[in-house]
Amino acid sequence: GQQLNQSPQSMFIQEGEDVSMNCTSSSIFNTWLWYKQEPGEGPVLLIALYKAGELTSNGRLTAQFGITRKDSFLNISASIPSDVGIYFCAGRVSSASKIIFGSGTRLSIRP
Amino acid sequence: EAEVAQSPRYKITEKSQAVAFWCDPISGHATLYWYRQILGQGPELLVQFQDESVVDDSQLPKDRFSAERLKGVDSTLKIQPAELGDSAMYLCASSLVEGLAVTDTQYFGPGTRLTVL
């Protein structure tokens, strides 16, 4: 079945740094989604992307739908402590198919 | 702000016992999902309901798992008998239907963390 490969698996950042993470697939997706999950909570949708090449921002977060439709990127600018959590990419092959999640990128603040 | 409610938040059980989880979606959300999230992985869909009907249960281990949404509102997921490998977070989510399309914005509940001993 379809799988999403998310990298890096984890990263330590210092407050103020910019963060980049990405997600790739062997299949073409027509929807890419980025979620954030904090401890003890369910994932929360951050950004949804529907067109190849689309670039969408949500505050300090910017995500892009890759031109090949097989990848997506999430950038966080000027990170702050509350950015800590696990970021999941997710995608849908077609409007009728289920959403598939990546394995997540764990973001931590370097002490 | 409306939220998806789940209970219990935590459940510890012994293998071979039966467990049940409850979910109350956001009012008006016709679509309800049950996901399983193993530690260190992303959520994996177990079953999707549209109102009271099952739309997708292809990943539900039907020999031991069952799910129902009798009145098209709240839902129950049951495992009988529980096995050690069932230890995971069970997440419920709901979403609106706009026209003929289910929207991509799924609202997740806080989950039930199951530990099978």
d(C-alpha B55, C-alpha B49), whole Å: 5
pLDDT at A63: 97
pLDDT at residue B104, as a whole number: 65
Cis peptide bond N-terminal to B8, omega within 30: yes
Candidates A42, A98, A103; nearest CB to B110? A42
Query: Which of B48, B56, B108 to substitute to test the interface with A, most A CBs within 10 Å?
Result: B108
Tokens at B6, concatenated: 């789940």
The whole-number pLDDT of residue B19 equals: 98
**CB-side neighbour CA atoms (13 Å) of A50:** 4
Residues of A in contact with B42 (CB under 8 A): 4, 88, 90, 101-104
pLDDT per residue as tens digits for the range B17-31: 999 999 999 999 999
Residue B69 above 90 pLDDT?
yes
Structure token digits, residue A109: 């603040």
Tens of pLDDT along chain A (111 residues) come to: 668 999 999 999 999 999 999 999 999 998 999 999 998 899 999 999 989 999 999 999 999 999 999 999 999 999 999 999 999 999 988 877 788 999 999 999 887
Token pair of A7 as six digits: 């990298």
DSSP lists the bridge partners of residue B23 as: B6, B75
Q: What is the pLDDT of residue B92?
A: 97
Question: Rounded to the nearest 5°, which phi and psi values hold at B37?
Answer: -125, 110
CB interface of B with A, residues 87-106, below 8 Å: 91, 93, 101, 104-106
CB of B25 within 8 A of CB of B32?
Answer: yes
Nearest to B50 by CA among B73, B76, B21, B24: B73
Average pLDDT of the residues of chain B? 92
C-alpha angle with apex B43: B79 to A74, nearest 5 degrees? 175
Q: Do B94 and B3 contact (CB within 8 A), yes or no? A: no
Asked whether the beta carbons of A27 and A78 are under 8 A apart, the reply is no
Q: Which residues on B lie below 8 Å from A41 (Cβ)? A: 108, 110-111
